[in-house]
């Protein structure tokens, strides 16, 4: 009988689903229960292929644009990332029943941007170009009222008409440290710029990054469970590398683990992005258990008890059924 080598696994906590992701997935499942299949979802409800495929199997149809909706008698759910204002207007004009599953913390950023605009300020959005959340936030205001900045160099190259009448908001899934440097660049260049009352980076992003910062320096390798198109998952991998972990990888499933790279490690950190289900963490743990004798320790940096209720349209139906 072959003796398995020992592997000390440090499980980061919190990890995996956040309240906004749970709400969005529950919204699709509840809409399917109430209205029956199919239910349409504009864009991936959350950035995780496993979750999306699971919802497809239950009757969800994912589309990128509303003109792909073939049956307008069925609901269309907007993803957790949020959408430009033009999308709900388009849905209304097409007489589509829209359910908005935008994460409330993203909605908070939208409202902040709108408030600054109403108060006459030019809004700077710190974020990554092309990400659905950024597209949605940019689409809350007229094009000439909001500017995307991605790097400190972008800040240096800005020449606003009134440097004393600026405000900034940020994407909710950014690296805490990157955002800190961007805010420093903004406040240095524009001392009178107005920021959020509370930071825009969501609690789940912050908590998951803090746990990785604690684990990354003391392990030989760290795995982030999540999809490659998930912003918060990509940031966790970057945080691990910056925190001193020489081998950090982002994987969706156990099949994605490059086993030759992990053949000689004695310590391993594991976390999961906010859109990754715990079942995938368990799958990867099982795969390591086939090769190693695991000694598992949980490293917790925060307790999460945040809960967001379902979108209003689904709450009303549920309430009427009681």
Segments making up each domain of the chain, as ranges: 6-17+203-300, 19-103, 120-189
The per-residue pLDDT for range 221-254, each reduced to its tens digit, is 999 999 999 999 999 999 999 999 999 999 999 9
Looking at 114, 133, 241, 293, which residue is catalytic? 133
- The whole-model pTM stands at 0.93
Q: What is the pLDDT of residues 137-181, one digit of tens each?
A: 999 999 999 999 999 999 999 999 999 999 999 999 999 999 999
| CATH class of this structure's domain 6-17+203-300 | alpha beta
Instruction: State the pairing for strand pair 122-126/166-170.
Output: parallel
CB of 139 closer than 8 Å to CB of 96: no
pLDDT tens-place string over residues 54-76: 999 999 999 999 999 999 999 99
Q: Which two tokens stand for residue 224?
A: 């982030």
Determine what percent of the chain is predicted with pLDDT higher than 90: 94
Q: What confidence score (pLDDT) does residue 321 get?
A: 61
> Which CATH number is 19-103 given?
3.40.50.11270
Active site residue 92: no
Residue 3: band (very low, low, confident or very high) from pLDDT cuts 50, 70, 90:
confident
For residue 194, the 8-state DSSP code is: B
Q: Do the two domains 19-103 and 120-189 of this chain adopt the same fold?
A: no
Q: Which of 191, 179, 110 is CA-nearest to residue 151?
A: 179
Q: Tens digits of per-residue pLDDT, 49-58?
A: 999 999 999 9
Return d(Cα 49, Cα 278) in angstroms, integer: 14
- In our burial notation (b when 16+ CB lie closer than 10 A, e otherwise), range 115-149 reads ebbeeebbbbbbbeeebbbbbbbbbbbeeebbbbb
Question: What mean pLDDT comes out for the span 278-296?
Answer: 97
HSE toward the beta carbon, residue 99, CA cutoff 13 A = 31
User: What residues are paired with 124 via a beta bridge?
Assistant: 147, 168
Region 120-189: CATH code: 3.40.1010.20
């Amino acid at each position: 009988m072959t003796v398995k080598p020992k592997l000390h696994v440090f499980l980061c906590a919190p990890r995996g689903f956040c309240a906004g992701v749970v709400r969005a997935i529950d919204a699709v499942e509840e809409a399917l229960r109430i209205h029956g299949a199919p239910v349409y979802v504009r864009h991936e409800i959350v950035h995780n292929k496993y979750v999306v495929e699971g919802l497809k199997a239950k009757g969800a149809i994912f589309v990128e644009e509303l003109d792909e909706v073939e049956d307008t008698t069925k609901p269309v759910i907007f993803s957790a990332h949020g959408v430009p204002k033009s999308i709900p207007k388009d849905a209304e004009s097409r007489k589509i029943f829209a359910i908005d599953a935008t994460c409330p913390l993203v909605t908070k950023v939208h409202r902040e941007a709108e408030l600054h605009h109403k108060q006459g300020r030019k809004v700077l959005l710190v974020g990554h170009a092309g990400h659905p959340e950024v597209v949605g936030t940019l689409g809350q205001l007229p094009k000439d009222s909001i500017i995307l900045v991605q790097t400190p160099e972008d800040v240096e190259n800005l020449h606003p008409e009134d440097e004393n009448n600026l405000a900034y908001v940020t994407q909710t899934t950014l690296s805490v440290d990157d955002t800190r440097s961007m805010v420093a660049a903004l406040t240095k260049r524009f001392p009178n710029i107005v920021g959020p009352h509370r930071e825009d980076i969501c609690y789940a992003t912050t908590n998951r990054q803090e746990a990785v910062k604690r684990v990354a320096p003391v392990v030989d390798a760290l795995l982030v469970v999540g999809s490659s198109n998930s912003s918060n998952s990509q940031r966790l991998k970057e945080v691990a590398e910056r925190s001193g972990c020489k081998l950090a990888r982002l994987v969706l499933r156990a099949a994605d683990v490059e086993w030759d790279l992990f053949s000689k490690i004695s310590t391993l950190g594991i976390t999961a992005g906010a859109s990754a289900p715990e079942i995938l963490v368990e799958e990867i743990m099982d795969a390591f258990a086939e090769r190693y004798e695991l000694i598992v320790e949980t490293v917790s940096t925060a307790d999460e008890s945040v809960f967001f209720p379902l979108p209003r349209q689904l709450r009303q139906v549920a309430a009427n059924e009681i």
